[in-house]
Amino acid sequence: MELEIKTLAFGGRGVARQGGEVWFVSNALPGERVTVAEERRRRGIVEARTLEVLSPSPWREPEPCPKALGECGGCDLAHVAAGFREKAYKTSLLGALRGAPEALRTAVEAAAFFPSPWHYRLRGRLHWAPEAQVLGFYAPSSHRVASLEGCRVLSPGTLALLPAWAESLKNANLPAGELEFLEDLPGERRLLLFRGLFSGELPRLPGVDGFWGIRGRGWGQRELTLELPLPLTVPVGSFVQGNRFLLAELWRMVEGLVREEGFSRVVDLYAGVGFLAAAARFGEAQELTVVEVSQRAARAARANLPQARVLSMPAEAAVGQGALIGADLVILDPPRGGLSPAVREAVAAAKLSSLLYVSCDPACLARDAKVLMDAGFAVRWAKLFDLFAGTHHVELAVLFQQT
């Protein structure tokens, strides 16, 4: 079957129409003619993979990671050249935002783009397959673990250590599970957390300063410090933005906004260990309220920002207790599902002037933006951060202000 690809869907597949059906084709880019093999078909939707690219797009990376899209499922947009990533993200985001308010779509089209070099990951989850003695990412649509030799997203330091770790994990009889890693900014120190059932001793591994299990047994350090303008301590297993190169750009966005607008009272509703709140503090915010549901992350936020009011509770409870009252700026960086109905309604109803919404899911952003804009917010600008280079995921920050 031969297809002409019309656009790029959020998720990384090229989209074509043929015989009244919509085809979603992996490893295919807008403007390309490709031959494809069908993988699944359901109610007018066909999933397929590219067999041959007959007329390549100028977006196509001439030397993509040889394992991407076949052996390893870690990077589903490795076939887009670095210089065309912005175009690829904007195309797929605008598709996902088709039903969103026009002002949001216009801002995304005009968004400043912050690209990332390779070897950016300072946090991530690897899968451990003891029978194959492999640590890596899953293969596409499979639970087979692919090895990571030559990987372009992990740091060279961690990559070099993987074979020795696999050997030690095998000798320790560690069962299958997830191994979360956290590195410092230069990629020189690292901690590990094993997410799996294991009651034995976690082994000493080369290049690792601490290795913990989810039940709290382990050895060594439990947290690392990221040397940002205000140092940020992060416990292994807590959320922190995973791109070592773009932390500084996210920081500058928040610091600059707070400084330029003279925001004094800032509320961060999904604060993690306090990264964005710390940038607001550095931008001279005087009163910080930091909300975080995970107790471990909230404890770290308290240590990172001793002057802040830290509410260790769900955002839903915090807004119910009046956390938004008097805020000049509310930062919303929710998990992938976006705002819950309770938070969405509370934010829309509160008398707020400015909201900075950081999103990795355009469909949820579109849903939340509609409610906010119906409540009188307008989009001031959007910025696009290449936090997950090589994949279809991208981080979109949008500033909403009351009209």
Ligand X SMILES: C[S@@+](CC[C@H](N)C(=O)[O-])C[C@H]1O[C@@H](n2cnc3c(N)ncnc32)[C@H](O)[C@@H]1O
Binding site for ligand X (CB under 6 A): 239-241, 270-272, 275-276, 291-294, 297, 314-316, 333, 335
Q: Could you give the CA distance from residue 90 to residue 112 in angstroms, rounded to a whole number?
A: 11
Residue 118 · residue 151 · CB < 8 Å: no
CB 259 within 8 A of CB 286: no
Q: Are strands 265-268 and 377-385 parallel, antiparallel or unpaired?
A: unpaired
Residue whose CB is less far from ligand X, 134 or 300 = 300
SS3 call for 301: helix
Who's near 134: CB < 8 A, 6+ residues apart?
128, 145, 146, 147, 166
Nearer to ligand X, 147 or 304 (CB): 304
Name, in order, each residue with C-beta under 8 angstroms of 395's C-beta and a sequence gap of 6 or more: 241, 250, 358, 359, 360, 384, 385, 387, 388
Least distance between ligand X and beta carbon 181 (Å) = 17
Q: In this complex, which beta carbon is closest to ligand X, that of residue 8 or of residue 356?
A: 356
In this chain, which residue has its C-beta nearest to ligand X? 272
3-state secondary structure of 355: strand
Q: Which is nearer to ligand X, 202 or 247 (CB)?
A: 247
Q: What's the min distance (Å) between Cβ of 321 and ligand X?
A: 13
Minimum CB separation from ligand X for residue 179, in Å?
Answer: 20
CB-based contact 305:286 (threshold 8 Å)? no
The C-alpha atoms of residue 330 and residue 353 are separated, in whole angstroms, by 9
Q: Which is nearer to ligand X, 26 or 304 (CB)?
A: 304
CB of 343 to ligand X, least distance (A): 7
Question: What is the closest distance, in whole angstroms, from the C-beta atom of residue 336 to ligand X in the complex?
Answer: 8
Q: Which is nearer to ligand X, 5 or 315 (CB)?
A: 315
Helices 341-349, 362-374: crossing angle, 10 deg rounding: 40
What lies within 8 Å, CB to CB, of 195 at 6+ separation is 125, 177, 178, 179, 180, 214
Beta-carbon contacts of residue 90 (< 8 Å; ≥ 6 apart)? 108, 109, 111, 384
Residue 4 or residue 316: which is nearer to ligand X going by CB? 316
CB of 239 to ligand X, least distance (A): 4
